[in-house]
Amino acid sequence: MKWEFTELAHPAFTSLMRRLSSAGFKREFAHVAVLPDWWAPGCEDDPSLLPDVEIRVARFVGAPLAVVRDTSAPLEAPKYQNAQLRRVRDINRDRLGPAIHAALQVGSAAIRNLTAPALRIPPQDPLAWRRDITTAGPLLQLADVVADLWKRGIPVLHAETLPNPSFQGLVADVEGRPIIVLGHDQDEPARLAFIIAHEVAHIVFGDCAPGSPVVDEQEEVSDDHVIEARADQYASTVMTGGVAIPHVQASGFKDLAMKASAVEKAQRIDASSVVWAWARRTGDYAMATMAAQALYRTKGGKRALRALFDQYVDLENASDSDRALLRCLHGDPQRDAVAS
């Protein structure tokens, strides 16, 4: 359900939510990520609950409690001046700040509740990492890649609720551990696997550092920067095992799907990988999407990511504020129950 304020809402609560919205954290996001899981319509009418909300807001934005309680003081999203924005199309750095901050807060919550083993970074040699990954079938799949990362202590998170504008992928060093956060509503398994492997390249080559996340805003935007070209090459090698993906020529999406399927049978390269390699080369992502649909391989990625998250993060013993942050992720049962 969509939360609405009642006419009886406490003025200080209304003011706080408006100031939080002005900082880039709109009402829908705040109700998921900041308010407690027991919050229900009408709670905003009760002034005795306001101190708890103020503490939560202060903790989330990193502001002194006195500033949060001062209705005349504006709230501001933290600035990430050292963030490395890649493949960005006409978006001011400050506009991405709220999404970056929210992603880092969600990542911190996941790390605090990890049941994963000690951190092991994948090797810089993409073929060496490929050999390390245990596959469930003849082709390397999304779940194989992500399961290996969780086993190495690297969280892979698919955020369903983030401030707008958001990003495609973010990799950051949080509390001494790398995290990968996906921010777009992408569900196609092979495409997600490539994006994740691309973000892993930023980790293994040391492209990000504490306070300096790498943020890929759009896949479709060309970026010839050396770190992006290197990350794309790393991801492609991981997904194909070093076999060059043929440069197929296609007259339409059905033709592209048929030729990609033929490559998979002949060379054991996932047909979807062929389709998205074609898209990156031609820039025609619309046709690639239709070809992926023709292959019936556009669904299930988010579900696979959620299953692995549930395996490695202890939600039952997480703090109330951490559970609120983790409700931002796809497939959260508490958020989905409330929304129904």
The pLDDT tens digits of the residues spanning 10-68 come to 788 889 999 999 999 998 999 999 998 888 888 888 989 999 999 999 999 999 999 99
Helix (H, G, I), strand (E, B) or coil at 224: coil
* Phi/psi of residue 212, nearest 5 degrees: -135, 65
Q: Give the model's pLDDT for residue 160.
A: 94
Q: Give the model's pLDDT for residue 219.
A: 58
CB atoms within 10 A of CB 32: 23
Mention every residue, 6+ apart, whose C-beta is less than 8 A from residue 212.
82, 83, 84, 173
Q: Give the model's pLDDT for residue 117.
A: 77
Contact 326, 110 (CB under 8 A): yes
Q: Give the model's pLDDT for residue 203.
A: 96
**Exposure of 311 in the CB half-sphere (CA atoms within 13 A):** 17
| Angle CA 227–302–277, to nearest 5 | 45
Q: Give the model's pLDDT for residue 70.
A: 92
Q: Give the model's pLDDT for residue 224.
A: 63
Contact 205, 227 (CB under 8 A): yes
Q: Give the model's pLDDT for residue 119.
A: 94
Tokens of 327: 């409700």
Tokens of 89: 């199309």
pTM: 0.87
Q: Give the model's pLDDT for residue 88.
A: 61
Which residues of the chain, if any, have pLDDT below 70? Answer: 1-9, 87-93, 218-224, 334-340
Q: Give the model's pLDDT for residue 7.
A: 46
Q: Give the model's pLDDT for residue 163.
A: 95
Q: List the chain domain ranges.
A: 11-69, 78-242+300-340, 244-297
